[in-house]
Amino acid sequence: MTNQLLRFTTAGSVDDGKSTLIGRLLFDSKSIFEDQLEAVEASSAKKGFDYVDLSLLTDGLKSEREQGITIDVAYRYFATPKRKFIIADTPGHIQYTRNMVTGASTANLALILIDARKGLVEQTHRHSFIASLLKIPHVIVCVNKMDLVNYDESVYDKIVEDYKAFSSKLEVSDIQFVPISALVGDNVVNRSEKMDWYQGATLLHMLESVHIESDYNHIDSRFPVQYVVRPQSKEYHDFRGYAGRVAGGIFRPGDDVLVLPSGFNSKIKEIFFGEQKMSEAFAPMSVTITLEDEIDISRGDIIAKPNNHPETEQDIDLMLCWMNQRPVNLSGKFFVRHTTREVRGVLKEIQYKLDINTLQRVENVEQLTMNEIARVKIRTAQPLCYDSYRKNRITGSLILVDEGTNETVAAGMIV
Amino acid sequence: MSQYYLSHLKELESEAIYVIREVVAQFEKPALLFSGGKDSIVLAYLSRKAFYPARIPFPLVHIDTGHNFPETMEYRDWLVNELGVKLVVGSVQESIDKGRAKEETGFNASRNALQTVTLLDTIEQHKYDAAMGGARRDEEKARAKERFFSHRDEFGQWDPKNQRPELWNIFNGRKQQGEHFRVFPISNWTEMDVWQYIFTENIPIPKLYFSHEREVITRDGAILSTSPWLKLKPGEVPEKKIVRFRTCGDMPITGAVESDADTLEKIIIEVAASRKTERGTRADDKRSETAMEDRKKSGYF
């Protein structure tokens, strides 16, 4: 058996106990080292706490430790004998939607925390909406602080019911629920002795067993060319390899392929992984492909199949999350980065803005400000070869880069 | 019937290769910062895989503090030859001689902080616009927030509050003249991943990592190798111990651990059972709670 990698994102409001939960997962799965624990014990004592504040394990930077809040995405690692985990730990408060979107973009799973005393709050809606917008395939809702509601089953049931009612409006296919106390450790790694009424799995067990094999698209073959390998050596004089990371489907030597946007046809000759010749390649493998025919292919092209290929268009509909301090107006121009391609683009139309707390559409909008999410149309100078984000998170996503400052200013999901 | 998923190690490997290729595709003059430690060794091997059958299309840059373990230098020269890659050396001694850097004094003097000056000078002199390194996010809390593509201003500084958001696997390497990027292809690897990879790929590593007999002293709980650069305090008497190193830093500040792990298998078992982080053996991180963050902001790796 080989270990798999599960990437998950955590989202919670301030004081939901998110950092404590992560600290608990790391601590109970024995992923904390002695010197890290000693440092946290010392800072807890310095702050005058009479317990070890596990949340301090995840507070990274000086400014955060001073303010006691997390201000950016931090990545944490732990492993069990079954899986390796990467946590994208993102802050919960409203001004950091951009961080949640960033953390969610690479996640297989979202952990959503709800304070059992408070039930669903605005931020629960916001986090769940972002998980759905970014098409995170799996969601686990942790009803936390059960110790503060006397481990009452009816409190938990009510929250589960409320969440199900709310989430029916979202596109998340796989939702699980678990009642926990991160502070005490109930149902996080170890089963709770206080909640006999709960027959389900612990949080860690869910994380270890959720089915992630189908999270990548293995049906629609897509290979964005990253780099052309030309050895310039006597031995490999005529070698022309197309290096890239498979974004979808399966490629095998002998397959007929279509290269976009040029439209040339050819056949796969060989597939290399390092010096090893492969009989097939699938997402997310980084390989080098050679073709039977000498055709002109460069970075930004996509190798697909003649009967199954991406759309090629210049007018593109997006859900856009604006991430920069400076707002954007209609006709704003950018560099558009999509897979390995960069083209110029312009914001043509803002169809509506979404209030991410109520999911209401706001129309007649001419400007987007930081952390706003909108349905927009852009036009690109050259066509993009894309899929809908729903079909493929790699060929369906793009970023906008400011032409002046070079900052990444927006994330787009192609509709 | 094939399984259409990768083991975590294969997934991390493909991710790192993807990042390395992005660097070569997006930048004009990239380089790989090579310390001689296991992380940068893995990076060099991943680079070979990324461009096979072509040679690695960038040089290895070694910031030589002049206080290296001889084993590290021997290994470096062997590897450069093995990979057929160009080596560029930036010398801390030269920076000191030119008056660009000032040597620390005292018993715990180290050239660690001086590396920053030499590193930035070397990047500027050769006009490297991207410097790849083997830093990992699991190493230290300030590194947990580092991006794959980390933007540095014209002074080489890191601004943690103003980092570019990094979405999906779309890396934005656009920059102004004079700015550069630090890139960390193995960001998502843990110490254990690195060891498992070295083991499964059968990658040769410096002898320092394996247990051996060495003359050492014990100072403030750290086991330090004797060397021409280690000033002994009164009462410190060198003794022979069976030790190995978990990191390959500068000789006077890199602590050893007592260990009889003389094979990769034994090292992996030891790492799995270890209750202290590998940087726990580095005196440079112990100077203050924010030692790494402060050094990173000023341009350290």
List pLDDT tens digits, range B232-267: 888 889 999 999 998 888 888 888 999 999 999 898
Portion 17-76 of B in contact with A at CB < 8 A: 17-18, 21-22, 24-25, 48-55
Of B11, B160, B175, the CB nearest to A284: B11
In a domain, B1, yes or no: no
Is B132 in contact with B23 (CB distance < 8 Å)?
A: yes
Q: Strand pairing partners for B155?
A: none
CATH 2.40.30.10 correct for A223-304? yes
Question: Which residue does chain B place closest to A325, by CA atoms?
Answer: B162
pLDDT of residue A399: 97
What are the tens digits of pLDDT across the range B151-204? 888 777 777 666 788 999 999 999 988 888 999 999 999 988 999 999 999 999
In a domain, B2, yes or no: no
Residues B132, B225: one domain? no
How many other C-beta atoms are found inside a 10 Å radius of the C-beta of residue A157? 14
Residues B157, B24: one domain? yes
In a domain, B120, yes or no: yes
Residues B13, B158: one domain? yes
Binary contact (B25, A72; C-beta < 8 A): no
ω into B57 cis (within 30 of 0): no
Q: Which residues contact B102 (CB under 8 A, 6 or more apart)?
A: B96, B114
In a domain, B45, yes or no: yes
Residues B165, B214: one domain? no
Low-confidence ranges of chain A (pLDDT < 70): 1-2, 12-15, 31-37, 40, 49-71, 92-95
CATH 2.40.30.10 correct for A311-414? yes
C-alpha A153: how far from its chain's center? 32
pLDDT of residue B97: 83
Find the domain containing B225 and state its range: 205-283
Is A134 in contact with A97 (CB distance < 8 Å)?
A: no
In a domain, B143, yes or no: yes
Kindly list the domain boundaries of chain A, sorted by start residue.
4-209, 223-304, 311-414
> DSSP H helical segments within A283-379, as ranges?
none
Residues B135, B209: one domain? no
Residues B112, B240: one domain? no
Structure tokens at A86: 């990467």
Mutation to test the A interface, candidates B11, B167, B171, most A Cβ within 10 Å: B167
In a domain, B110, yes or no: yes
The DSSP bridge pattern shows strands B222-225 and B239-245 to be unpaired
Mutation to test the A interface, candidates B56, B172, B193, B292, most A Cβ within 10 Å: B172
Cα-Cα-Cα-Cα torsion A144, A147, A150, A156, nearest 10 degrees, comes to 10
pTM for this model (two decimals): 0.91
CA distances (Å), A132 to each of A54, A96, B91, B220, in order?
A: 29, 17, 52, 52
pLDDT of residue B292: 55
How many folded domains does chain B comprise?
Answer: 2
In a domain, B29, yes or no: yes
* Same CATH fold assignment for domains A223-304 and A311-414: yes
In a domain, B3, yes or no: no
Q: Domain of B91: which CATH number? A: 3.40.50.620
pLDDT of residue A68: 47
Over chain B (301 residues), the average pLDDT of each successive run of 10 is 81 97 97 93 97 96 89 94 94 82 74 81 91 89 82 77 86 91 94 92 93 91 87 89 88 88 89 66 52 57 54
Binary contact (A34, B275; C-beta < 8 A): yes
CA count, 13 A, side-chain hemisphere, A256:
8
Residues B141, B83: one domain? yes
ipTM: 0.91
The CATH classification number of A4-209 equals: 3.40.50.300
CA distances (Å), A208 to each of A18, A21, A25, A83, A85, in order?
A: 19, 16, 12, 6, 9
Residues B237, B163: one domain? no
Residues B172, B216: one domain? no
Q: For residues B150 and B111, give the distance between their C-alpha atoms in angstroms, rounded to a whole number.
A: 24
Residues B14, B130: one domain? yes
